[in-house]
Amino acid sequence: MSMHELNRILNTKEFQSKDTLKKQLTELGIYAGDHIMVHSSLSSMGWIAGGPQAVVEALLETVTETGTIVMPAQSADNSDPSYWMLPPVPKEWHQPIRDHFPAYDPHLSPLREMGKIAECLHRHPHTVRSPHPAHSFIAWGKNAAEWMKDQPLEDSFGEGSPLGKMMKAEVKIVLIGTGFDSCTPLHYAEFMQKDRKTLPQGAAVMIDGKRVWQPYDCVEMDSDRFPEIVQDFDGEIFEGKLGMAKTLVVEMRPLVEFGILWLKIHPAPEE
């Protein structure tokens, strides 16, 4: 057992299991047939018997196949190396990286900084992953195949994306130990701005069976502003716990529609 795992046991007040989580999910208002978009931090939940598997099974068994579970599954490594800063790579490597980086594969491309819970759901045999090389989602359940089917390269979080389809449904955002700066659905509000700015980007993808480096324009995004949107939002945000983690639940469509108007009134300051 690692020291990190030992510290999580010592800092957890009571024994926690899948059954604990299922009871808490019900208390949070999550039921069979719900469609949920989950952002999560396993470390914030304390020690749980079974770790991420227990969390994923609790979600699956609570929502059931009559509902849908969606999580961000971004793979930001598949991007233009000229923007890489953590760490940067030598400039002379930029073109070789564009020439040799493996094409996006929904099964093989790793998730980057999405957390152990999302990585666990990604391994489920019935999970479907959307096709965007950098901004993909994973989904399980009733609407997984339909919502994950399309995701245009230049509209990764817009009307043609999984978020666009989810905006037509009743979806609950569930933040487990994370803040609203991690709330991926609010990127939809950025993509809906008429004066949105873009940056040249690129990714390795498969086109007609051939691996290519595909340039595209990517909308500039700033999730640091999301807490400001939420601060002005007057809709209901339910707060509870999952494990030991502070957990927030909010209806997706009202929040995102408010975000669209808020960003229109409060455009990003000019640099």
How confident is the model over 81-135, as pLDDT tens digits? 999 987 899 999 999 999 999 999 999 999 988 899 999 999 999 999 999 999 9
What is the predicted pLDDT for the residue at 163? Answer: 98
Express as a percent the part of the chain with pLDDT over 70.
Answer: 96
Structure tokens at 56: 């994923």
Residues with Cβ within 8 Å of 10's Cβ and at least 6 positions away in sequence, in order, are none
What is the predicted pLDDT for the residue at 114? Answer: 87
pLDDT digits (tens, 9 = 90+) for 41-77: 999 999 999 999 999 999 999 999 999 999 999 998 9
Q: How much is the mean pLDDT over the chain?
A: 94
Structure tokens at 58: 């609790």
Residues with Cβ within 8 Å of 216's Cβ and at least 6 positions away in sequence, in order, are 153, 154, 200, 201, 202, 203
pLDDT at residue 7 greater than cutoff 90: no
Give the whole-angstrom CA distance, residue 61 versus residue 56.
9
Q: Which pTM value belongs to this model?
A: 0.94
pLDDT digits (tens, 9 = 90+) for 160-170: 999 999 999 99
β-strands 128-129, 210-219 pairing: unpaired
Q: Give, for 205, the enclosing helix (H) or strand (E).
A: strand 198-207
What is the predicted pLDDT for the residue at 126? Answer: 97
